[in-house]
Amino acid sequence: MRIIRVKDYQQMSRDAANIISAQVILKPDSVLGLATGSSPIGAYKQLIEWYNKGDLNFEKVRSVNLDEYAGLTADHDQSYHYFMHQNFFDHINIAPQNIHIPDGCAADMEAECARYDATIAALGGIDLQLLGLGVNGHIGFNEPSDVFAKGTHTVKLTDSTRIANQRFFQSLDEVPSGAITMGIFDIIQAQRVLVIASGENKAQAIKKAFFGPVTPQVPASILQFHKDCTLVADEAALSLI
């Protein structure tokens, strides 16, 4: 476990973008596991900037996103499909056929979960997985639980997660109550994991996840066992350790 302590969100974003771009330069057809939410937006902006300057090429990159809300169509402005296109994919030269995001509207969700795991396997697994950290220690939408979920699965979102994500919706009622997410085993099979966290509201989760016992009640704690996990976090997020 490597911890990179940075001053603020901006520096976190630059460092994360540097690590991602190093991955893409070293292996142009990398499989990037990507996240949505507030944490990666700055890193995506930075990567877009370097792409525009001609320093990065995403032509051969393959991507697999962590998760999607259940019941939101790809064109819904709060869906993770929409988010990824708005904040990243529409601004770089990634090939549309190389983009993979779970379908939260699939008629048969069980089949969709199996299809998504098969997709990850067919790509040869994830080279670098980018993760944000939930205030309750979730990664992807793997919520605190009695067991570590293995593969892609559907989940019922906790109140804490729905409240944390309410800021993107008009009201709490509009926040979907379910999601489809990669499992913990999918995530920890990645060759490298990069966790980013900024702000005081992540301090408790960081303390529990990286300095507490490894338990499915704090899903991110499993990352303590990963052979190549880097946490880039700002001073506020690291204030309790």
- The residues assigned a catalytic role are 67, 136, 138, 143
Q: Is 57 or 105 the residue whose CB approaches ligand F6R more closely?
A: 105
Q: Is 123 or 135 the residue whose CB approaches ligand F6R more closely?
A: 135
- Phi-psi sector, 54: left (phi>0), alpha (psi -120 to 50), beta: left
3-state secondary structure of 113: helix
Query: Does 39 engage in binding with ligand F6R (CB under 6 A)?
Result: yes
3-state secondary structure of 76: coil
- Cβ-defined contacts of 7-12 (< 8 Å, 24+): 7/234, 7/235, 8/198, 8/234, 8/235, 8/236, 9/42, 9/198, 9/199, 9/234, 10/42, 11/234, 12/39, 12/42, 12/43, 12/196, 12/197, 12/198, 12/232, 12/233, 12/234
Query: Does 38 engage in binding with ligand F6R (CB under 6 A)?
Result: yes
Query: Does 208 engage in binding with ligand F6R (CB under 6 A)?
Result: no
Query: Does 154 engage in binding with ligand F6R (CB under 6 A)?
Result: no
Which of 33, 42, 132, 183: binder of ligand F6R (CB under 6 A)? 132
Residue 135 CB, nearest distance to ligand F6R (Å)?
Answer: 7
- Dihedral of the alpha carbons of 93, 97, 102, 103, in degrees to the nearest 10: 110
Q: Under rule CB under 6 A, which residues in 43-72 are in contact with ligand F6R?
A: 66-67
Q: Is 44 or 51 the residue whose CB approaches ligand F6R more closely?
A: 44
Residue 7 CB, nearest distance to ligand F6R (Å)?
Answer: 18
Query: Does 104 engage in binding with ligand F6R (CB under 6 A)?
Result: no
Which of 62, 81, 100, 138: binder of ligand F6R (CB under 6 A)? 138
